[in-house]
């Protein structure tokens, strides 16, 4: 028998459930792209501020490429920490309002490296039910006891903290802006409950960095929680348009990570050009002041239009606007029809989101003008309402 027989079977099962995923190849990235000569509004890009193709970010990246070469050539602890890494960490620490920062190979690696350094077999990690896969994988890798609290529910978190047996460290983890729902965590409340029960607090600001807070610093800073949130995690791959992850934290925690975080130690440092693009993007944000405010204004108008037409955008309050369809096949069909009209809105299905909550996840970016958004909203309303109406009519 071919050794792939079991693989064929697994894929066939995914296909049957409408859960098979395939890679698509694009010639461009960003919120507005050309495909075979036709312009598409891309609502599936996380390049919220349109910085992935910003000339200043590209030129900063090029400068570091030419000065330092293609790669860091070693892991950060050996000889892979170059001036650009040091510079980027200083800039991130200042932006986030923490004493220090440490850059990881990606946001995924940052979450894995941080959580495994803070918690071990006899410890307890409390994570929001909708926490990103990289947070969950970090907890699994840490071997700590995982307890999941109901989404954005400080009371359930408190109940779990109360039940937790004595002994061992406790860590509470949440996102500030949730990646698939676009809603915002009650950070002050969650933090105060965690502190009350002696737990450390970690907040993933992947989707808030660059968008929320003064100068794009994120929600921890907007709410003034820097002294109470021990781990401010973020990524360079969303609003900053590049690649890489980071933590902003105390100097003691940074020292611990440099010594313990295997996802930091046993991998090559980020290439200088990638670090340069993040520095360039951060400089553009500094100059612009608060580009996130304009993005959030456009997103709010777009969301209101969808809501007024009766679509369910969950509790979105950010540039991420979900449109709940529910069923996998129907969500895929809506995405397909929108594509034929020039709108890319990828269908998000389980296991990325809970069973029965398949949705379009629409990311508004500064590449989308008010006019683009007005037109797209009309098309999305027509297709999504049509699908939901047909389901109601035929069961």
Ligand X SMILES: Cc1ncc(COP(=O)(O)O)c(C=O)c1O
106 is catalytic: no
**Which tokens hold the place of 40?**
């598409």
Q: Which is nearer to ligand X, 204 or 317 (CB)?
A: 204
Closest CB to ligand X: residue number = 107
User: What would the x/- binding string for ligand X be over residues 130 to 169, using CB under 6 A?
Assistant: --x-x-----------------------------------
327 is catalytic: no
175 is catalytic: yes
**DSSP-assigned states of every residue in 295-344:** HHHHHHHHHHHHHHTT---TT--SSEEEEEEESHHHHHHHHHHHHHTTEE
User: Which of 30, 50, 107, 276 contacts ligand X by CB under 6 A?
Assistant: 107
Only segment of 15-23, 56-64, 101-109, 216-224 that touches ligand X (CB under 6 A): 101-109
**CA separation for the pair 216, 96 (Å, rounded):** 9
Q: How far from 108 is each of 46, 156, 188, 204, 264, CA to CA, in Å? A: 15, 27, 25, 11, 11
Which of 179, 217, 232, 277 is catalytic? The answer is 179
User: Which of 128, 181, 183, 204 contacts ligand X by CB under 6 A?
Assistant: 204
Instruction: Give least dist CB 137 to ligand X, A.
Output: 10
Helix boundaries (H) for the chain: 5-16, 55-68, 83-96, 107-118, 133-142, 154-163, 187-196, 219-222, 251-260, 262-265, 272-288, 291-308, 328-340, 370-394
The alpha carbon of 119 is separated from its chain's Cα centroid by a whole number of angstroms, namely 22
Which of 47, 89, 100, 175 is catalytic? The answer is 175
204 is catalytic: yes
368 is catalytic: no
**CA separation for the pair 309, 315 (Å, rounded):** 16
User: Which of 82, 115, 206, 333 contacts ligand X by CB under 6 A?
Assistant: 206
**CA separation for the pair 111, 98 (Å, rounded):** 18
183 is catalytic: no
Instruction: Give least dist CB 206 to ligand X, A.
Output: 4
Whether residue 173 contacts residue 115, with contact meaning beta carbons closer than 8 Å, is answered with: yes
Instruction: Give least dist CB 238 to ligand X, A.
Output: 7
Q: Answer yes or no whether residue 237 interacts with ligand X by CB under 6 A.
A: yes
CB atoms within 10 A of CB 177: 25
Angle between helices 83-96 and 272-288 (to 10 degrees): 30
Only segment of 107-115, 271-279, 312-320, 382-390 that touches ligand X (CB under 6 A): 107-115
156 is catalytic: no
Q: Which is nearer to ligand X, 325 or 348 (CB)?
A: 348
Contact residues for ligand X, defined by CB under 6 A: 106-108, 111, 132, 134, 175, 179, 204, 206, 235, 237, 245
Residues with catalytic annotation?
Answer: 46, 132, 175, 179, 204, 207, 238
């Amino acid at each position: 028998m071919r050794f792939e027989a079991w693989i064929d079977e697994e894929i066939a099962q995914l296909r049957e459930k409408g859960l098979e995923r395939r890679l698509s190849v694009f010639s461009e990235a960003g919120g507005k792209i050309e495909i075979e000569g036709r312009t598409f509004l891309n609502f599936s890009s996380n390049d919220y501020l349109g910085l992935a193709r910003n000339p200043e970010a590209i030129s900063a990246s090029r400068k570091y490429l030419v000065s330092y070469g293609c790669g860091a050539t070693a892991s950060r602890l050996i000889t892979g920490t170059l001036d650009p890494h040091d510079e980027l960490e200083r800039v991130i620490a200042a932006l986030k309002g923490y004493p220090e920062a440490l850059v990881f190979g990606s946001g995924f690696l940052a979450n894995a490296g941080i959580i495994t350094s803070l918690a071990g077999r006899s410890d307890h990690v409390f994570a929001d039910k909708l926490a990103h896969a990289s947070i969950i994988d970090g907890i699994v890798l840490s071997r700590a006891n995982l307890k999941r609290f109901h989404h954005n529910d400080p009371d359930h978190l408190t109940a779990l903290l109360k039940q937790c047996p004595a002994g061992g460290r406790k860590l509470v983890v949440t996102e500030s802006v949730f990646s698939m729902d676009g809603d915002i965590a009650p950070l002050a409340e969650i933090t105060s409950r965690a502190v009350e029960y002696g737990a450390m607090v970690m907040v993933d600001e992947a989707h808030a960095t660059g968008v929320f807070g003064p100068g794009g610093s994120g929600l921890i800073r907007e709410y003034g929680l820097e002294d109470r949130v021990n781990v401010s995690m973020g990524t360079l791959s969303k609003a900053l348009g590049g690649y890489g992850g980071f933590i902003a934290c105390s100097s003691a925690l940074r020292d611990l990570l440099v010594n313990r975080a295997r996802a930091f130690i046993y991998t090559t440092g980020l290439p200088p050009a990638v670090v340069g693009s993040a520095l360039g993007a951060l400089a553009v944000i500094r100059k612009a002041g608060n580009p996130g405010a304009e993005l959030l204004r456009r997103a709010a108008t777009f969301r209101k239009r969808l809501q007024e037409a009766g679509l369910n955008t969950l509790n979105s309050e950010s540039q991420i606007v979900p449109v709940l369809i529910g069923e996998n096949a129907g969500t895929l069909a809506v995405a397909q029809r929108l594509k034929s009209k020039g709108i890319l809105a990828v269908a998000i299905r389980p296991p990325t989101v809970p069973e029965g909550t398949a949705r379009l996840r629409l990311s508004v970016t500064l590449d989308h003008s008010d006019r683009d958004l007005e037109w797209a909203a009309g098309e999305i309303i027509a297709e999504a309402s049509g699908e939901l109406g047909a389901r109601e009519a035929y069961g």
